[in-house]
A = this chain, B = another copy of it.
């Protein structure tokens, strides 16, 4: 089984971290391939960048010319999953949705802890459209940027732990979802300090993708995700 994990930004070191996190949880025999868009922003922290990501991710997958079994869109709260689903028969798994879905199996309510406050609405909208808001206690921001997580790790981690503790105490969250593609390494620390289960989106998405493949499920082509009609597109995909 081969699973593509597509980064939503153009930073290839993040693609590599994501693929590592994916491999850590993949079943034996599953190959994880990381893809990096050639179009878009070095990190996604808002709607404009997220729309670029939607297009960049579709392009990266279309440019991949080997067979594969499932695709993971590895951005938290990003636009674009529905576009990929139109283009492919294989299952497409968004890490936001995978994390939230897994969280609800081990607690009555969950909170997402993300980086910047401005990305909270994007995450809420994605959860709402996916029908996963009802058991969401809150989406909280630690006000660390994606970049901070790489550079100023200690302070960034602490602010995330603090916010997770507030979610558990004030919002009654029984599970914490790490709301950023690059937070996988924090799972253990947050769990130990908060005393509740912690879900990382990339890891959750890998197990969901594996599940869908194992169940023989493919994307329904009956209506919303039917293949696009053949048309003369201008400028897309990029490489042609």
Please judge, given known A-B contacts A48-B87, A93-B105, whether A196 and B215 are in contact too, CB under 8 Å: no
Closest to A87 in B: B48
Contact A128 B129, CB 8 Å, known A233-B52, A235-B38: yes
Given A55-B55, A131-B135, A223-B108, is A39 in contact with B235 using a C-beta cutoff of 8 Å?
yes
Q: Is the CB of A79 within 8 A of B105?
A: no
Which B residues are in CB contact (< 8 Å) with A52? 55, 233, 236
A207 partner, pick from B38, B214, B222, B224, beta carbons under 8 A: B214
Interface code A6-45, partner B: CB below 8 Å = 1, 0 otherwise? 0000100000000000000101000000000111111101
- The complex is assembled from copies of this chain, and their number is 6
- A130 touches which one: B104, B195, B210, B211 (CB < 8 A)? B104
Chain B residues positioned under 8 Å from A106 (CB to CB): 91, 212, 217-220
Q: Is A151 an interface residue (CB 8 A)?
A: no
